[in-house]
Structure 1
Amino acid sequence: FCKSALARYTQWDFIELVCKHGVPYHEKKLGQLFCDNKASDILDMLLAECDEAGAEIRMHTSIEQIDKTDSGYLLRTSAGPFACQSLVIATGGLSIPTLGATGFGYQVARQFGHTLLPTRAGLVPFTITEPQLKAMCTELSGTSLDCTASCNGTSFRENLLFTHRGLSGPAILQVSSFWEAGDTLEINLLPDRDALDWLHTQQTERGNAELRTVLGEVFTRKLATLLAEQWFESKPMKQYTPAELALIADKLARWQLVPAGTEGYRTAEVTLGGVDTREVSSKTMESLKSPGLYFIGEVLDVTGHLGGFNFQWAWASANAAAQFV
């Protein structure tokens, strides 16, 4: 469903628009682009484009009713009635309600006969309530480390961040979109090493070194100490039996936990689910149920990875609809 729109308005088209407006930006790892100054530079750019196109922006206006007419749609609003041939729903999902997110777009879709796929928070931190693990997360709040996070057959290699509520960071946000309540999350804390081989090497070459000391060379001192104290009994490496080393390696490479939940829409970067794409034209974004009605962006059941993919879908789907409204 996404391919047609993304092929017609690529990331290079958006970057060209950014350059046209002289917005300075830089690239971070994984090809992610960030404004040099502030994110509102992009908002200013979009508002300038609206102004150039002669678009009217009506703020503080509530839509009370939408009716289908012979020539299009009639909107009854707090600012009076508006008639249009084409009605584009670009309302986003439920994520971050403090920015104004609501389920209004889903209400419109239902009104005109569309199927909605179940919605839930995506790209969102996990919460932990198990007492010992929660205490560990609280103690390590602010600590970040490289890892591989996996769930339901999908893995992401990025940073994990401990928080006072649980787990966050890019790897966690990414894998959260593939997690459902009750699922087990698996984290490899040593993604660049074979944990068991590494421990055997440490035991052979540094038999008198304590486990916490060895771990402290790949993790922060605080994390190494907590792992050694809470997960294992820290003692000189030469005192561990092969079976004990295997258990330590398994825990470091396959730390398994079941999150209590997520932080929900309050901090989620996207909303999973939404308007069923099978009922929308992939070429025009027009409803196959109600001619003249269009759905673009996050209100559709389209969710991208972290790193600008959801923004690119917003621009590309909007461009696709704009060719036909």
Structure 2
Amino acid sequence: MAHYDIVILGAGAAGMMAAIQAGRRGRSVLVVDHAKYAGEKIRISGGGRCNFTNVNATTDRARDRFLSANPRFALSALSRYTPEMFIAMVREHGISFHEKTLGQLFCDGPATQINTMLLGEMRKAGVTLVLETGVESVARAESGFALQLTTSSITCDSLIVATGGKSIPKMGATGLGYQLAEQFGLRLVETRPGLVPLTFETGALERLKPLAGIATDAVVRHGKTAFEEALLFTHRGLSGPAILQISSYWREGDAIAIDLLPHQDAAELLREARKATPKLQVQTVLAGLLPKKLAQLLGEQLDMAGMVGDFSDKKLAAVEALIKDWTLKPVGSEGYRTAEVTLGGVDTRDLDAKTMAARDVPGLYFVGEVVDVTGWLGGYNFQWAWASGYAAGQAA
């Protein structure tokens, strides 16, 4: 029976980083994944360009950008493996990249360059990678763990669980990591889809359907949380970066509010229209400020006949309120099928923030998306994967 110092379950971002770090320390490392290829979520991320980190994913700026029952948990790992450290690896491999808005870094070329880089570093570190291999059981052994794989039986001193969450099941996402956590007595925070488009009931969806394909800049709010990015209308409801971001905070039964004219004084614009173009219908005025079909829908919702020149201040205030505080009530999300991440997971109370080790199970570690740490859209979740993988790889 083969024995390894460390077995890592999952050949995604966190698993590969953990393997690289452990291998560099001279540990014998086996990475096991049931998928055909390593790093499948890396390959499709960022529209195929891999948004591999965010320059703002630092301890100073990231305090409010990671969701968790304990938002401070992630800061320890993030402080010891920074975006600059991953960027240095990217530069070393000659991968060209660029910064988009809000600190997001993308490859100039295909995302597969990041996979090639990580796989190359694993080989240099002497890591063994086994793909298309399932895990049938994991048990405590006399010293470490005994694993029954679909192809063989193995043992190890340390086990790093990097199996990811439930998002995008067509790419092979499973609940294995959560099952292992429960098996070894760790608590779980309820999981749900994150960074996911929102959907509406049939009546609201019928009203919104003519807008499918239209994108506009907006500020989307839920409670005290707000994101200013693009909003996209779809055949199923709402998507775009602003909606994906707010979806991580939204809960069933809640409403969201949308400012369709961010940084613009809608009241002043409407008063100017009343004075300059008094014979226009309000819908026509709105069409000068917003996409035409969106203006038409809002005009129908207002149901205010007559020329804008005849509108009282009270009527103009109602128009302004709709533009700046358009309230919609989603009924759900598109679910794990299209969710970029999984919220919730292994409870951080049961993990050591410095090493990612299970507090009460020597030799067991959890890293990446399987843990109850979820970042904002835009490279934060990859940086958490690199940082948590690094932490476990340095300790196991």
TM-score by length of 1: 0.96
> What's 1:48 paired with?
120
- For 1:192, the aligned partner's letter is H
Inter-CA distance 286–315: structure 2 relative to 1 (3 Å threshold)? same
> What's 2:144 paired with?
72
Q: CA deviation at 1:46?
A: 1.3
- For 2:384, the aligned partner's letter is W
Calculate the aligned-residue CA RMSD, in Å. Answer: 1.3
Aligned 8 A contact 1:150 1:186 in 2? yes
Aligned length: 324
Higher mean displacement: 310-319 or 203-212? 203-212
- For 1:35, the aligned partner's letter is C
1:179 correspondence with 2:250? yes
Higher mean displacement: 239-248 or 151-160? 239-248
> What's 1:140 paired with?
211
> What's 1:86 paired with?
158
SS at match of 2:120: helix
- For 1:222, the aligned partner's letter is K
> What's 1:267 paired with?
338
- For 1:151, the aligned partner's letter is H
> What's 2:365 paired with?
294
1:168 correspondence with 2:239? yes
State the alpha-carbon separation in 1 of the partners of residues 306 and 230 from structure 2: 29
Q: CA deviation at 1:234?
A: 5.5
State the alpha-carbon separation in 2 of the partners of residues 192 and 206 from structure 1: 23
SS at match of 2:129: coil
- For 1:243, the aligned partner's letter is K
Q: Deviations over 1:39-88 (max 9, x none)?
A: 12211111111111121111111111111123111101111111111100
> Unaligned stretches of 5+ in structure 2?
1-72
> What's 2:102 paired with?
30
Q: CA deviation at 1:118?
A: 0.3
Higher mean displacement: 261-270 or 29-38? 29-38
Q: Deviations over 1:189-226 (max 9, x none)?
A: 12212322321222123222332332222212222223
Q: Identity over the aligned pairs, expressed in percent?
A: 49
State the alpha-carbon separation in 1 of the partners of residues 307 and 87 from structure 2: 55
SS at match of 1:85: strand
Aligned 1:251-266 pairs, distance under 5 A: 251-266=322-337
State the alpha-carbon separation in 2 of the partners of residues 88 and 136 from structure 1: 49
Equivalent position to 1:238, from 303, 306, 309: 309
State the alpha-carbon separation in 1 of the partners of residues 335 and 208 from structure 2: 19
State the alpha-carbon separation in 1 of the partners of residues 372 and 310 from structure 2: 55
- For 2:266, the aligned partner's letter is A
State the alpha-carbon separation in 2 of the partners of residues 25 and 217 from structure 1: 38
Higher mean displacement: 281-290 or 20-29? 20-29
Aligned 8 A contact 1:196 1:249 in 2? yes
> What's 1:282 paired with?
353
